[in-house]
């Protein structure tokens, strides 16, 4: 869904850049406040992993492909602020190093694919967690559904931007319907990938899933990590047992 | 519950998986237009796209200039991207964490969003 230069006019692109810069500034500040030592390399890993999986376009319909956006995934693993920053870094590297996503559209792309997917995806995830039973399986289901929704929302955001300042004169209704239609399909892929990844992290290191921290899945972590970050988890595990 | 893996093992395995996906799987990815490009073609605004200012740089378009084998070129570009993304994201987080004034190394402090229902 990387918007190239030229699809959206300069005014809307510049407006989106201002909004994205403000949003990114706020998320960076928040990330600095909530980050613990261990989530620094994890954020690097999440960004690198999302970069890799974004390269894996899968076919969704005849002559059409889609790929993971990863904003919801990063938000569920690391929290929405850190997650939004991770995907923004991915988009920046793609635009500057691989000429993917227009430079004038960088603000639009960060808004649509990092900020909206991370925050709306995380809100949907939290909402789903509230109505589902408190167990790891629910985290996987909520992750997948929220991630799928985040992709559809991202496509709606593009349609709105096209409505305000789109080039080429296509009808807004056509663009809206086509964008949502194809991104429902891509969202299904996003949901499956996100559910699989969150499930794999829950199976190997459940304590590292931000969106599952209420479940206190920290058994055995004390023996494994000598780092200071492990201490509070070990203490809590001891208090419970 | 299954025995969790060590943190360092998790990190290294995750990075190795990302690099492997980028190197081995990305050359097999679908080359069809993505959702947005498909809509642009069908709704007749694809021509509005203008050239990317960095379209002639050595790794533009997910390839490495000078590497003729297309699969190898894509795979190498993927691995370069994985490494640079890891370094930039990790480095940025290191900087904002220091700027955020968290000098302690504890896992969860009162400032952490750890037990808050509000999105962090």
Predicted confidence (pLDDT) per residue in A200-211, tens digit: 999 999 999 999
Give me the pLDDT at residue A223, please. Answer: 44
Q: What are phi and psi of B28, to 5 degrees?
A: -95, -5
Q: How many CB pairs under 8 A join A and B?
A: 300
pLDDT at A226 over 80: no
In whole angstroms, give the CA distance from residue A66 to residue A89: 20
Interface touch A58/B30, C-beta < 8 Å: yes
Query: For residue A37, what pLDDT band results from cuts at 50, 70 and 90?
Result: confident
Strand partners for A66? A58
Phi then psi for residue A66, to 5 deg, are -145, 165
Mean pLDDT score, A8-30: 97
pLDDT for position B2: 60
Candidate from A133-137, A168-172, A227-231, B15-19 with smallest mean pLDDT: A227-231
A1: which chain B residues are within 8 Å (Cβ-Cβ)?
34-36
Interface confidence, given as ipTM, is 0.90
Tokens coding A197: 């990844």
Residue A207 C-alpha, separation from nearest chain B C-alpha, in angstroms = 9
Contact A92, B91 (CB under 8 A): no
| A10-205: CATH class | mainly alpha
> What is the 8-class DSSP label of residue A46?
H
Which residue in B21, B79, B93 has the most chain A C-beta atoms within 10 A of its own C-beta, making it the best mutation to test that interface?
Answer: B93
d(C-alpha A82, C-alpha A88), whole Å: 10
Q: Do A47 and B89 touch (CB under 8 A)?
A: yes
Write down the pLDDT at residue B13: 97
B58 and chain A in contact, CB less than 8 A: no
From the list A100, A1, A89, the residue with the least C-alpha distance to A47 is A89
Cα B15 off chain centre by: 11
Task: Take residue B44 and report the two structure tokens written for it.
Answer: 């007749």
Give me the phi and psi of A59, to 5 degrees please.
Answer: -70, 135
What does the domain layout of chain B look like in residue ranges?
Answer: 7-48+68-99
Domain boundaries, chain A: 10-205
pLDDT digits (tens, 9 = 90+) for A161-196: 999 999 999 999 999 999 999 999 999 999 999 999
pLDDT tens per residue, range B20-77: 999 999 999 999 999 999 999 999 999 999 999 999 999 999 999 999 999 999 999 9
């Amino acid at each position: 869904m990387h918007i190239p230069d030229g699809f959206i006019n300069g005014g809307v692109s510049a407006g989106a850049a201002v909004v994205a810069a403000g949003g990114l500034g706020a998320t960076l500040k928040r990330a600095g406040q909530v980050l613990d030592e261990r989530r620094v390399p994890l954020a690097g890993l999440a960004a690198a992993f999302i970069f890799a999986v974004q390269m894996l376009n899968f076919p969704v319909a005849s002559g059409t492909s889609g790929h993971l956006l990863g904003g919801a995934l990063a938000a569920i693993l690391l929290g929405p602020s850190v997650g939004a920053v991770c995907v923004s870094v991915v988009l920046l590297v793609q635009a500057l190093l691989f000429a993917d996503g227009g430079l004038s559209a960088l603000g639009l792309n960060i808004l649509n694919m990092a900020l909206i997917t991370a925050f709306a995806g995380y809100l949907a995830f939290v909402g789903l967690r509230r109505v589902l039973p408190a167990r790891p399986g629910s985290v996987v289901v909520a992750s997948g559904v929220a991630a799928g929704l985040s992709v559809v929302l991202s496509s709606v955001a593009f349609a709105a931007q096209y409505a305000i300042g789109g080039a080429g004169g296509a009808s807004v209704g056509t663009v809206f319907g086509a964008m949502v239609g194809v991104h429902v399909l891509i969202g299904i892929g996003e949901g499956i990938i996100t559910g699989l990844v969150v499930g794999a992290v829950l199976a190997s290191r459940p304590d590292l899933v931000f969106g599952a921290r209420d479940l206190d899945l920290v058994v055995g972590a004390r023996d494994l990590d000598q780092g200071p970050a492990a201490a509070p988890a070990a203490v809590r595990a001891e208090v419970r047992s | 519950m299954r025995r969790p893996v060590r943190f360092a093992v998790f990190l290294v395995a995750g990075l190795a998986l990302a690099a492997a996906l980028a190197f081995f799987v990305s050359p097999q990815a679908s080359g069809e237009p993505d959702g947005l490009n498909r809509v642009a073609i069908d709704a007749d605004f694809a021509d509005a796209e203008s050239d990317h200012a960095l379209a002639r740089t050595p790794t533009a378009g997910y390839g490495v200039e000078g590497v003729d084998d297309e699969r190898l070129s894509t795979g190498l570009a993927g691995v370069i991207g994985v490494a640079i993304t890891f370094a930039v994201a990790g480095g940025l987080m290191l900087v904002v964490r220091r700027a955020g004034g968290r000098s302690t190394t504890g896992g969860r402090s009162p400032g952490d969003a750890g037990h808050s229902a509000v999105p962090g």
